[in-house]
Amino acid sequence: MQTLTLTRPDDWHLHLRDGAALAAVLPHTARQFARAIVMPNLKPPVTSVAQAAAYRQRILAALPAGSDFTPLMTLYLTEATPPEEIERAKACGFVHAVKYYPAGATTHSEAGVSDIGKCRAALERMEALGLPLLVHGETADAAVDIFDRERVFIEQVLAPLAQRLPRLRLVLEHVTTREGVEFVESCGPSVAATLTAHHLLYNRNALLAGGVRPHHYCLPVPKREAHRQALVQAAVSGSAKFFLGSDSAPHARGAKEAACGCAGCYTALHALELYAEAFEAAGALDRLEAFASFHGADFYGLPRNTARLTLERAEWRVPQALPYGDDVLVPLRAGETLNWRLKA
């Protein structure tokens, strides 16, 4: 196959940041995707509909002229989120989900949730209104091995939550383990998961073997090869429960190449090409369109896109670095060759 034409895809998990960083990264996403679920982990976090409305305006203002990209906004769940804010979110029309960060689990999660029991009223309102909860599924318990944090979180928090609120729409974001896949498959249609390109392509050797590779460091950390294979199987299975969420998470080069480097892989530049590589390696390029363009829209109750785009088999070199405000940003696979390219 030399070209692959797809319905224009959406990115169901994306970090756009703000200010100069936003202006630097947004054109990459807008070129590939029609819509994206925008994470609310700014500083300060986007906890109210009023803040989400202002952030949405800043995103729209930063779009390249002529772009029809639509940001789908989210709220950052805190232990103080009132059920009335959930009602305002559902009513406003531009907030599509609420993000649950266990406090301390990842970048800018300090304002997140330590005790999900304290969010009961907000979650019950979300269940009643059908507003999805997007979950960073890792325990923040420092005593738990970092490679076990997803599994332990599912056992201790997520499975009980799904039992208590069986109609709550849940997305286990950036699932990285076989146990995560099995959990999602064991639940009804109200529970789904996003998969990143980097977790489909890489296991933990890519992070640690032969030297520490900070541009492969993200959270949840990549796991063993058996887990990566389970993720690929889920992605290419055709199950509507699994869809594209790049988790593209830009950090300036100095913040990644540091004694204590930040978590996040930058893939907005070439997300679709990376997913195509992963699907092709699994012999499943014919399954890419549903994963990238149908399942997410269906889960969120939004219309599927109608425009189309084409990937061609053509080698190109990923830039070593990209402008990022006054700084630079190193994309995943910097300096390496990719075999698929999005046609202009």
- Which option in Zn ion, ligand DOR, none does residue 106 bind, with CB closer than 5 to 8 A by kind? ligand DOR
Closest-by-Cβ residue to Zn ion is: 247
Q: Which is nearer to ligand DOR, 14 or 72 (CB)?
A: 14
Closest distance to ligand DOR from the beta carbon of 263 (Å): 4
Say whether 247 is catalytic.
yes
Q: Which is nearer to Zn ion, 125 or 174 (CB)?
A: 174
Check residue 10 for interaction with Zn ion (CB under 5 A).
no
- Per residue in 214-231, is it b (16+ CB within 10 Å) or e — as a string? bbbbbbbbbbeeebbebb
- Which option in Zn ion, ligand DOR, none does residue 20 bind, with CB closer than 5 to 8 A by kind? none
Closest distance to ligand DOR from the beta carbon of 315 (Å): 28
Closest distance to Zn ion from the beta carbon of 45 (Å): 13
- Which option in Zn ion, ligand DOR, none does residue 241 bind, with CB closer than 5 to 8 A by kind? none
Q: Which is nearer to Zn ion, 97 or 309 (CB)?
A: 97
Q: Is 275 helix (H, G, I), strand (E, B) or coil?
A: helix
Q: How many of the chain's residues bind Zn ion (CB under 5 A)?
A: 1
Instruction: Spell out the alpha helix ranges (H) of 93-190.
Output: 120-129, 149-153, 159-164, 178-186
CB–CB of 98/134 below 8 Å? yes
Angle at 256 between CA 104 and CA 112, to 5 degrees: 15
Residues that bind ligand DOR (CB under 6 A): 15, 41, 106-107, 136, 218-219, 249, 263-264
CB–CB of 94/53 below 8 Å? yes
How far, in Å, CA of 328 to CA of 251, rounded?
A: 9
How far, in Å, CA of 114 to CA of 75, rounded?
A: 17
Q: Which of 68, 115, 247, 327 is catalytic?
A: 247
Q: Is 87 helix (H, G, I), strand (E, B) or coil?
A: helix
Residues 212-251 close enough to bind Zn ion by CB under 5 A: 247
Catalytic center residues: 247
Binding site for Zn ion (CB under 5 A): 247
